[in-house]
Chains A and B, each alone.
Chain A
Amino acid sequence: MNLFDKIHNYQLVTRLDEAGVYPVTSHEKAWLALMLANPSAAEIFEPATLDKLRRLTHIPESESTEQERFVEKAQTQAKQLWSPLVRTLRRIILGKNHIKITAATNKGPVFRNQRGVPYKLEYSLAKKAWYLIWLNMSSNRLITTPLHLIRSVDELYIEDVWYDSFLPTISEQIQQRKQMAKIVVIPRYNAELQRILYAFSCFDKEVAFDPESQVYTITLHFLSDEQEFILSRIRFLGLRVKVVENDQLKQRMAESATNALARYTETSL
């Protein structure tokens, strides 16, 4: 079992691609068989397709019954891996059409029959939930709606050109929401650098190192609606890191610390 196999060599893959040859290896089939055993497969595929795939990936002499599994720790439990809306929406996005959508919001109120441009489906590994990123045409704002709050979606057929004409607006709005923060690793924790960098490795970031002072500075790039998650990550690391640039984050950390401290100073035990 070797992941670095000749058949995956990049020159060979590109050569075969030119010839329209796509050999699937038994190793890949075994992986697929393992994934098809996951209960969510039944939500994703039509029953006939699932049967077909299970038959095609069945490797008689496979030792998959003996499969040594990894132990996973500190996993976020997902209520549901998949949503039937994913299938519908991904096809609308692929077909470059508009949607008419009715959905609730986390704050409560429902908006009805809004016309919009579906952009991407996003899955958050932190929340284990699906979201639709779409442009609301009446407010001209980019919105992220959790799929479980969507009551109904209809497809409105339009010309591709018209769909494409909204893309600049969407990327402009994404650009406008981009934020930046600088976080330093407190040097006395430099020995833990690797763990700290791992904790930030799910963000778009750059790192700078000053050999003189031995200070590592992490520059994070994120969208404004990701601020809460970033804050929870910074609190997660506690005294190891300090926000040095981004007033909003600094402000929020100061509030957090003040309020948390108040929980311990008023003896509520």
Chain B
Amino acid sequence: MARESFDKELQLLRLLFLTAGAYNRQQLAERLGISVHTLDKTIKKLKDIQSTFYQHVGDEEKKEYYAQLRYNYFEVTDNFLMFLYHAKSLKDSEVERLSHILEKLKQQPLSIKELLETFVDTEPDEKTIRQDMKYLEEIGAIKNVSEVRPYVYQLDGELLDSLTDDELLDLYDFIDFMANTQLPAVPGYLLQEKVKRYLKYRLKLTDASAFLYKYHFVSRILDEYQALLLTEAIRQRKIVEFHYYTPKRRKFYDSQNTNPAFQRDTSGRHQKVIPLRVIFDHQYGRWYLLAQGCGNGPLRKYRVEGMTKLVTGKSVTPEIFTSLQASADERISHSWLIDTGKLVTVRLRFFQPRDTPHSFIQERVEAQGQWGIVTEESRESFVYEINVNSTMEITPWIRSFGSSVEVLEPLFLRKQFQKEWEELLAYYESV
């Protein structure tokens, strides 16, 4: 059986999430490079998982064609895109077997032979059960508790079972907070889901959530699958191959063209590179890969959301890899995000807010100004200075301060700001 890939589901969810409601079925299918029929099937599958998982999906919403991808901030405290990570296909018989094994092992430790005897209606063969046990042991759900054969297995539930009620609540909050604020998050969300169900089971707590997260880039989890594969490849110094769709494209994905009647040009370009760093950009909530082309090309930058069909290949030697990585780190040491352009000194004068003792502008500059420093300070204003690779990536951040900032240097940036504000004023002058 081919390895199940979730590229299509990931791209569909991303598209639905980012462009919430913008496209009809035809337009969506076209942008995904799939048939409307495949789109319908995929949506149906996603909705099925979503409504199994989340009780808050109302009947009305189930009837709607699209999975409900807008959520009420005050009602839904989960990361509501997480349901996708529960999409791995499983045959009914396998669901049956795995849950049977885990339930029995929860009651008491058993050997494989004893376990086989507990199956009443269906008698799976020993080989299948052994495979199941091997899998469950590998993922850490069960453990072998005997030194000698026949091995006896039990459920590894100590982590949750050994905590007091109070400790369990602290753990739940900790997981919730870390999954929502740190990287990586997906394993955390998966664990949170488990602890939430466990709290309900043990403490009859139906709603343990007390936290809301504001201005959260929830869609960042859609790329974590690829991001983690890439960091794994980096750790093993492995070359990766993938099909890349630049963000300026209109398409997000392409079907595998298994159906000859459904031929179309693939616009994704095949890439083969040495991955060096995976970068998360907090300004937009996006992921990047920094890589070196095989055969000394320039340093390459990819947006992780544009990658599909990612596979790992051969390893490169530690010496080559280390020197490539060190030089990439050097190149981005002064990047506001990932720009590797020419180093330039940016000097800005920020103005303290009037009629409030709360110096929130300075607080924000100190919190977000990365490695820049404040060089002068007075009651009314302060000067901030930073050396950065080209002005392109820092510009939006500066602009977001509006009239609380003045660009002092470089001169071309100062002129650019003057011109931009003139044009922006023209947008709103008639107000």
State the A residues within 8 Å of B (CB). 1, 3-17, 19-32, 35, 38, 41, 44-46, 49, 52-53, 56-57, 59, 63, 66-79, 81-82, 86-87, 89-91, 93-94, 106-108, 120-126, 128, 133, 171, 174, 191-192, 194-195, 197-199, 201-209, 211, 216, 226, 229, 231-233, 235-239, 242-243, 247, 250-251, 253-265, 268-269
User: Contacts of A229 on B, CB cut-off 8 Å?
Assistant: 215
User: Contacts of B201 on A, CB cut-off 8 Å?
Assistant: 17, 20, 22
Contact yes or no, B175 A236, CB < 8 A: no
Contact yes or no, A9 B90, CB < 8 A: yes
Contact yes or no, A124 B190, CB < 8 A: no
User: Contacts of A25 on B, CB cut-off 8 Å?
Assistant: 139-141, 190
Contact yes or no, B187 A6, CB < 8 A: no
Q: List 22 A-B contacts (CB under 8 A).
A: A10-B49, A12-B95, A14-B53, A21-B155, A22-B198, A28-B188, A28-B194, A49-B170, A56-B162, A70-B183, A72-B279, A73-B279, A73-B338, A78-B367, A82-B177, A90-B173, A93-B210, A106-B356, A124-B215, A126-B214, A236-B396, A243-B428
The 8 Å CB contact of B402, one of A6, A207, A259, is A259
Number of chain B interface residues as a range? 35 or more
Taking A12-B99, A14-B52, A19-B106 as known contacts, 18 extra A-B pairs with beta carbons closer than 8 A to each other, sorted by chain A number, are A7-B136, A10-B49, A28-B188, A28-B191, A29-B159, A68-B234, A69-B231, A73-B279, A77-B367, A106-B360, A195-B284, A195-B286, A197-B18, A198-B217, A199-B283, A204-B72, A238-B420, A254-B429
CB distance from A259 to the nearest CB of B (A): 3
Select the stretch in B113-121, B258-266, B291-299, B329-337 that faces chain A: B329-337
**Is B280 on the interface with A (CB-CB < 8 A)?**
yes
CB distance from B22 to the nearest CB of A (A): 4
Contact yes or no, A68 B285, CB < 8 A: no
CB distance from A89 to the nearest CB of B (A): 8
Complex Cα spacing A171 to B73, Å: 12
Contact yes or no, B102 A16, CB < 8 A: yes
Contact yes or no, A1 B228, CB < 8 A: yes
User: Contacts of A8 on B, CB cut-off 8 Å?
Assistant: 85-86, 88, 190
User: Contacts of A269 on B, CB cut-off 8 Å?
Assistant: 408, 414
Contact yes or no, B178 A264, CB < 8 A: no
Contact yes or no, A202 B217, CB < 8 A: yes
The 8 Å CB contact of B187, one of A16, A27, A121, is A27
Select the stretch in B35-43, B122-130, B144-152, B219-227 that faces chain A: B219-227
The 8 Å CB contact of B279, one of A71, A87, A258, is A71
Known: A194-B247, A202-B285. A24 touches B140 (CB 8 A): yes
Contact yes or no, A35 B182, CB < 8 A: yes
Q: Which A-chain residue is minimally distant from B182 (CB atoms)?
A: A35
Residue with the highest number of chain B CB atoms closer than 10 Å, among A26, A41, A243, A263 = A263
The 8 Å CB contact of A23, one of B20, B102, B225, is B102
State the B residues within 8 Å of A (CB). 4, 6, 17-23, 27, 49, 52-53, 70-74, 83, 85-90, 92, 94-95, 98-99, 102-103, 106, 135-136, 139-142, 155-160, 162-163, 167, 169-171, 173-175, 177-178, 180-184, 186-188, 190-191, 193-195, 197-198, 201, 205, 208, 210-219, 224-225, 227-229, 231-232, 234-235, 247-248, 277-286, 305, 332, 335-338, 356-358, 360, 366-368, 370, 395-397, 399-403, 405-406, 408, 414, 417-418, 420-425, 427-429, 431
Complex Cα spacing A171 to B136, Å: 45
Known: A3-B187, A44-B174. A73 touches B429 (CB 8 A): no
Contact yes or no, A3 B225, CB < 8 A: yes
The 8 Å CB contact of B247, one of A71, A73, A195, A239, is A195
Complex Cα spacing A31 to B350, Å: 40
Q: Which A-chain residue is minimally distant from B167 (CB atoms)?
A: A49
Q: Which A-chain residue is minimally distant from B395 (CB atoms)?
A: A238
The 8 Å CB contact of B103, one of A19, A81, A123, A232, is A19
